[in-house]
Amino acid sequence: MCSSAPDGSAIPSIFIDNPRTRVTEWRFKERGDATGWHTHEYDYVVVPLFDGYLDIDLPNGEKIRAELKTGVPYFREVGVEHNVKNGNDFECAFIEVEFLTPNPRGF
């Protein structure tokens, strides 16, 4: 996901975009700011830049509150569909690293 969805208010800033990897900072200025609904086209890692919560809406109507810790990454595989929202009363951000192609060396 390299740009905000039409219904998103979070601000993406792309730092790296090459044939193998895309690195984007997602910044949420206030509670409720959101990425907008999207489906991930690639495996990805998220590195939080804050301690706090993201509220995540899933397609089946389920809502998840995820607790994040600064610098503690998590990995997700291609196909994740959701809308991610700031669940805090402060500005927050995370770095998203997308793996656009497999490693050419096979690992």
Measured on CA atoms in the order 56, 78, 94, 3, is the torsion positive or negative? negative
User: pLDDT tens digit string along 75-106?
Assistant: 999 999 999 999 999 999 999 999 998 766 66
Rg (C-alpha) for the chain, rounded Å, is 13
Q: What pLDDT was estimated at residue 8? A: 84
Q: What pLDDT was estimated at residue 85? A: 98
pLDDT at 6 over 60: no
pLDDT at 2 over 60: no
- Annotation: CATH topology of 11-93: Jelly Rolls (2.60.120)
User: pLDDT tens digit string along 34-72?
Assistant: 999 999 999 999 999 999 999 999 999 999 999 999 999
